[in-house]
Amino acid sequence: WIGKYLTDKTRSGLVHFMFTRGLLREKLQLVSEKALASGALLSLKSEECFMKEGNIYVQLRKLEKLEEKMKATRKQGEEKRNPFLPPEEDLFVCEMTPSHVVVLNKFAVLNEHGLIITREFVEQTRPLLREDFYAIHLTLQEANNFVFFNSGKIAGASQAHKHIQFLPLPLSFDTQSQKEPLDTPISPLFDEEIDYSHFGAPFGTLRFFDFAHVVRTYAEYDIDLESDNTVKEYADRDYETYCTMLEKLGQLLPPQWKGEESCGPYNFLMTRKWMMIVPRSEEFFRGISVNSIGFAGGILVKNQEQLQMVQDYGFVPLLKELTYPLT
């Protein structure tokens, strides 16, 4: 799976390029251009503004036109098919691993929004596996990406088929100078002292987020596009870290979060520098659906009324309505 371009026939009989180290972003850009031209990729225009809260600038995006997305969503609903099995041909980026492929997010608010999907159907509510983290680190080796996973509908997942999402960083800019890029709007929170009192180092919480969550930070990230060993080592490390974080959250939260499952709905966020998991109690805040990007400091609204509501209510108070108390 690493090295030369290979080809593989899909169930539809079409030929795809397999994953080649160092070329993922180039492939994403190429497929995006073609998919936009064909109409398969719907670029959703939005108006951006910022809201200062504490030491961060929350990124608010108001969608300009929803007609195309609503029409396409209705069509998918009428067809009652899994859009990932098989994936739409014009959105297909590349074969990745024996268990995963990469496609474009059909409804793109931000550019180069990729999805790592399982070849076979796996429920979105199932935990991430070691092979999922292997695929995640293939993308992180390629570029400084923001990776996230919405575990179930309450966490903001729009599809039941297991998919992990990634976006190129930075997601935000310093609104005072507009010159210095920030990886994410919440990046300044990681520059502050992490609170290890709830879980014990190296597992902590961000002091600004007074709701149940857990973070793990990393000092460095090595890039090695020649060898598979680095990817495997990071995948093993972070799979074990992820399992430990879920276990610690399970001990903290009330029984209703888990129900009869191994864990309840949560948002998983990751960069080369940190990992965060946020258990979810609700999907919506007064009609606004919030997924993992929301906990990175990005809120998407449909109209001016919702935008004003977020500004009036506040970023952290909004997130507290969707999560559990930090006890």
Tell me how far apart the alpha carbons of residues 326 and 174 are, in angstroms, rounded to a whole number: 29
Among candidate residues 295, 293, 291, 284, the one with its CA nearest the CA of residue 215: 295
C-alpha distances in Å from residue 177, one per residue of 157, 174, 181: 35, 6, 10
Among candidate residues 270, 284, 277, 283, the one with its CA nearest the CA of residue 252: 277
- E strands, 65-151, where? 92-95, 100-104, 107-108, 114-118, 145-151
- Asked whether the CA dihedral 28, 29, 34, 37 is positive or negative, the reply is positive
Token reading at 126: 């199932």
Catalytic residue among 113, 161, 163, 213: 163
Active site (annotated) includes residue 163: yes
Q: Active-site residues: which are they? A: 163
